[in-house]
Amino acid sequence: MSTSVPPPASAASPESTTTTTAVIDLDLPGPRISRHVYGHFAEHLGRCIYGGFWVGEDSDVPNVRGIRSDVVDALRALQIPNLRWPGGCFADDYHWRDGIGPRDQRPRMVNSHWGDVVEDNSFGTHEFMDLCELLGAEPYVSGNVGSGSVAEMSDWVEYLTRADDSPMAALRRANGRDEPWRVPFWGLGNEAWGCGGNLRAEQFASLARQYATYSRNHGGNILYRIAAGADSGDLHWTEALMRSFDDLAADPAAPAGPFQAVSLHYYTMSGSWGDKGDATGFSTDEWYTTMARAHRMEELLTRHSTVMDRYDPHRKVGLVVDEWGTWWNVEKGTNPGFLYQQNTLRDALVASTHLDAFHRHAERVVMANIAQTVNVLQAMILTDPDTGALVLTPTYHVFAMNAGHHDAAALAVHLRGVQTRVVDGAELPLVSASASVKDDAALVSLSNLDTETDRTVVLDLRGRDVVGHDARVLTASALDAHNTPQQRDAVAPRPHAGVRPHARGLEVDVPAHSYVTVSLGLR
Ligand code: AHR
């Protein structure tokens, strides 16, 4: 872990302050922002499951039935709505029967995608469902299409969700769990265009229909089936999946089937897949390249939604961004297959701008899962492999600051006077914003992506009376500031005094490279 990297850039010069106006009609609530866009992802990859969530019952690290208590507590505080498991690429290599029954008798396998290590399957179905119950999160299970079978997937659903004395329900009982679990979200494969089988779009679309058909609803457990979707800008993949539906336009009341959603994966990096850029010690140019690439999520959502609208005018089919976030070169000295990376203020602003985009597309984006929760890619939590010490990342704090958006109604934010910067030939807006309202409270999120210029954002608040406000700011002097066991709060939200009454509402200081949330009390 890098703790002593020279900061690549410093804070704003005080003379450079500009004003942006954000017009918000508080009385015009839009579509609901599903809390599930604040979802998470945990793969059998590096130290995410093993060491991150699972330490085993005999560990010195405090645990409940083998699951780390400090990690559970931190994620409960975020109110994480769902957790996707067991992959990722791992999902299409995973055979669920290897992960049930007495732990010391479970077969081993090679985790060929991630470090080529031997997986002992000590964390399996029962452990995952226990974890979800401890977290108060809804399970999102990714089934194996790549190397599995229709029958294997069908049996897993039955094992998890069936109440009577069916063969799979009986097997579950023999393994110590009497009651069926509730599993709302079911993934049909992962990256079927790549690690999930290198399939063609049309070929996978047919498979998705078939696997979805045999992933049955048992009793009252109604599955929301999510077909493995496109890689970033691959509109053809989305189109092939949408075309595979029977006429979605015909009957507005008829639910979509045999699957209900398609996914989308997009990762942000400052370099290329060969050299993704470092998590710390980056240049100002790399900062802006990163922000421009993060901003691309807005365009991707617009383009994939446009394709979906063509086939699905009633918006029955959900778009699930079940992998997103930053992907940097691994930290020096760590296993290249474990994808362990630091998490800085830059990651925080990548997260805040993605979440703004999800809010703006709330009518189509029903769920999203940042990759990945602990110790892998853009994590919420990093744990020290030697001491076990836990650190909350800047990204964690963005999720915490945004909790008020969960299940709130999106509010349109019309920005005026936003400065832009040309990055790789395209204009990058230097302010990102979103807002929502729930009952008598609204939340406004403001990101200033500029490395140097402080901004004032005038909130032009219309339609309802504002009777109180409270603001928080997340920033640091160095662009690559991050938290470590020695300095846990180098990047942590602080109360923000820079909010003043204004003739049109409020005036908010948004320092250079900062994230600010303003909670409003409404009448
Ligand atoms: O999140 C890491 C990997 O990225 C996942 O396993 C895969 O789906 C994607 O390529």
The predicted structure's pLDDT at residue 15: 39
- What the block records as the tokens of 452 is 């140097």
Class of residue 30 by CB neighbours under 10 A (exposed 0-12, middle 13-18, buried 19+): middle
Task: For residue 7, report the distance from its CA to the centre of ligand 1, in Å.
Answer: 30
92 lines ligand 1 (CB under 6 A): no
Residue 254: what residue type? Answer: A
Give me Rg for the CA atoms of the chain.
23
Asked about 427 being catalytic, the answer comes back as no
What are the residues whose beta carbons fall under 8 Å from the beta carbon of 244, sequence distance 6 or more?
202, 205, 206, 208, 209
Mutation probe of ligand 1 site: the residue of 84, 190, 322 with most atoms within 8 A of C-beta: 190
The predicted structure's pLDDT at residue 121: 98
**What residues pair up with 138 in beta bridges, in sequence order?**
82
Atom of ligand 1 nearest to the CA of 89: 6
Task: For residue 50, report the distance from its CA to the centre of ligand 1, in Å.
Answer: 17
Return the closest-CA partner of residue 320 out of 168, 142, 179: 142
What are the residues whose beta carbons fall under 8 Å from the beta carbon of 333, sequence distance 6 or more?
none
Task: For residue 190, report the distance from its CA to the centre of ligand 1, in Å.
Answer: 8
Strand stretches in 365-451, DSSP E: 365-371, 381-383, 390-392, 409-411, 413-416, 420-423, 426-429, 431-438, 441-448
Return the closest-CA partner of residue 355 out of 303, 406, 392: 406
The predicted structure's pLDDT at residue 17: 63
H or E stretch covering 224: strand 224-231
Asked if 141 contacts 91 with a C-beta cutoff of 8 angstroms, the reply is no
363: which DSSP letter? T
CATH 3.20.20.80 domain range(s) in the chain? 35-407
Atom of ligand 1 nearest to the CA of 43: 6
Return the closest-CA partner of residue 262 out of 213, 217, 301, 314: 301
H helix runs in 188-339, sequence order: 201-214, 235-243, 284-311
Residue 31: what residue type? Answer: P
> Can you say whether the dihedral through the CA atoms of 133, 136, 138, 144 is positive or negative?
negative
43 lines ligand 1 (CB under 6 A): yes
Return the closest-CA partner of residue 126 out of 176, 76, 87: 176
93 lines ligand 1 (CB under 6 A): no
Mutation probe of ligand 1 site: the residue of 43, 273, 369 with most atoms within 8 A of C-beta: 43
| Predicted model pTM | 0.95
H or E stretch covering 130: helix 125-135
Residues 405 and 365: their CA atoms lie apart, in Å, by 14
312 lines ligand 1 (CB under 6 A): no
What are the residues whose beta carbons fall under 8 Å from the beta carbon of 180, sequence distance 6 or more?
160, 161, 162, 163, 169, 172, 218, 219, 221
Domain covering 17-28+411-522 assigned CATH 2.60.40.1180 in the classification: yes
Return the closest-CA partner of residue 347 out of 467, 474, 196, 211: 474
Asked if 520 contacts 37 with a C-beta cutoff of 8 angstroms, the reply is no
Return the closest-CA partner of residue 212 out of 203, 200, 225: 225
Per-residue exposure over 408-437, b if at least 16 CB sit within 10 Å of its own CB, e if not? bbbbebeeeebeeeebeeeebbbbbbbbbb
Mutation probe of ligand 1 site: the residue of 84, 265, 341 with most atoms within 8 A of C-beta: 265
H or E stretch covering 473: strand 466-474
Task: For residue 468, report the distance from its CA to the centre of ligand 1, in Å.
Answer: 43
Longest dimension (CA), the chain: 73
Asked about 323 being catalytic, the answer comes back as yes
Assign domain 35-407 to its CATH architecture: Alpha-Beta Barrel (3.20)
pLDDT tens, the chain, 523 aa long: 333 333 443 333 443 469 999 999 999 999 999 999 999 999 999 999 999 999 999 999 999 999 999 999 999 999 999 999 999 999 999 999 999 999 999 999 999 999 999 999 999 999 999 999 999 999 999 999 999 999 999 999 999 999 999 999 999 999 999 999 999 999 999 999 999 999 999 999 999 999 999 999 999 999 999 999 999 999 999 999 999 999 898 888 999 999 999 999 999 999 999 999 999 999 999 999 999 999 999 999 999 999 999 999 999 999 999 999 999 999 999 999 999 999 999 999 999 999 999 999 999 999 999 999 999 999 999 999 999 999 999 999 999 999 999 999 999 999 999 999 999 999 999 999 999 999 999 999 999 999 999 999 999 999 999 999 999 999 999 999 999 999 999 999 999 999 999 999 999 999 999 999 999 999 9
- What the block records as the tokens of 351 is 């997260």
Asked if 106 contacts 153 with a C-beta cutoff of 8 angstroms, the reply is no
CATH 2.60.40.1180 domain range(s) in the chain? 17-28+411-522
